[in-house]
Amino acid sequence: MGDFFSSLWQNLKGIQNVFQWNDLFDILIVTIIIYTAIKILRDMRAQQLVKVVIFFLLAYGAAELFGLNTLLTILQLIAPVSITILVVLFQPELRRALEKLGRTKFSKLNILPFSQDTDEERIKIIKRAIKTVCDSAIILQRQRMGALIVFENEIALTDIVNTGTYIDAYPSAELICNIFYNKAPLHDGALVIRDGRLHTAACILPLSSNLEISSELGTRHRAALGMSESSDAIIVVVSEETGAISVAMGGTLKRNLPINEVRSILETNFSAVKDDQANGSKTPFWRKSK
């Protein structure tokens, strides 16, 4: 037994001689940098940029692995130019990201995961916001008032909310109906809901470039489709002309839905709520047969 502990001690001393504490400190710093960079990229809505970079890295690795000299030469030639082009194209986003990083306190980096209590409270707030929006949609439908309501999901809509007027209000049917009253100053645009709160109103959304969209659809529906094509947001539309309630998600528009189905779609496909549902694997609405 003494030989065993002696051998174990010698092995531990050997590991200590190889492992340096500065290595642990180095790994910790790199981890924090990578985590912070991922959070910044999410707020920049730059997922497409990340996909392009990953594609080039994979192509470069494959070219080296399989000896594809022509492809490797081309990638080596365009790499410096590509970096310059990306910096120029994403200059506004990079500037905002650096400004945000400079204003961020270390305590707000959220390196540790949310506690279960915090997650449960967030889910309750989101479900309450969904119910409030559905109640508001019924009132707007009866009064033939148009509405465009965006539920921000996993992808942060930073560029979109910057085009509107900051509200940060507790959701209520009265306030939502007042926002979309046709003579109110904030009715022309989209209302963005973030983390279960009315975040920003009168936001400008990108219009869909889909040429197959029905000519019956107006600007609100085209904006809802455009937003759903460029993000994972869920958009609720109330038609001013017909009062019909529609939902856009994943580049698909479901029109003239009953309010109970609108609520079901929101709760089924909203990430925070979906993850909380027991055995929650309902078929996404855009995959259901029409």
Residue, of 127 and 55, whose pLDDT is higher: 127
pLDDT confidence of residue 238: 96
pLDDT confidence of residue 78: 78
Residue, of 73 and 19, whose pLDDT is higher: 73
188-234 tens-digit pLDDT = 999 999 999 999 999 999 998 887 788 788 899 999 999 998 888 99
Question: Residues 100, 104, 110, 111: is their CA dihedral positive or negative?
Answer: positive
pLDDT confidence of residue 80: 76
The full length of the chain comes to 290
pLDDT confidence of residue 211: 75
Alpha-carbon distance of 287 to 290, in angstroms, equals 9
Alpha-carbon distance of 40 to 243, in angstroms, equals 39
pLDDT band at 123; cut points 50, 70, 90: confident
**188 closest CA partner among 199, 169, 202, 205:** 202
Highest mean pLDDT among 22-31, 54-63, 227-236: 227-236
pLDDT confidence of residue 47: 57
DSSP states of 10-65: HHHHHHHHH--HHHHHHHHHHHHHHHHHHHHHHHHT-HHHHHHHHHHHHHHHHHHH
What does the pLDDT average to over 227-248? Answer: 93
pLDDT confidence of residue 281: 43
132-157 tens-digit pLDDT = 999 999 999 999 999 999 999 888 88
Of 224-233, 247-256, 273-282, which gets the smallest average pLDDT?
273-282
pLDDT confidence of residue 109: 47
Of 26-30, 176-180, 271-275, which gets the smallest average pLDDT?
271-275
Alpha-carbon distance of 225 to 252, in angstroms, equals 7
pLDDT confidence of residue 253: 93
**pLDDT > 70: percent of the chain:** 66
Write the single-letter amino acid at 27: I
Alpha-carbon distance of 127 to 159, in angstroms, equals 25
Instruction: Kindly report whether the global pTM for this prediction surpasses the value 0.85.
Output: no
Convert 78-109 into a string of H (helix), E (strand) and C (coil): HHHHHHHHHHHHCHHHHHHHHHHHHHCCHHHC
Alpha-carbon distance of 29 to 32, in angstroms, equals 5
- Which CA distances in Å does 206 have to 60, 190, 219, 230, 289? 34, 11, 10, 8, 28
What does the pLDDT average to over 66-95? Answer: 73
Domain ranges of the chain: 2-108, 116-287
- CATH for 116-287, among 3.40.50.720, 3.30.230.30, 3.40.50.970, 3.40.1700.10? 3.40.1700.10
101-122 tens-digit pLDDT = 554 544 444 544 444 446 788 8
Show the tokens assigned to 91: 């200059």
Alpha-carbon distance of 194 to 97, in angstroms, equals 19
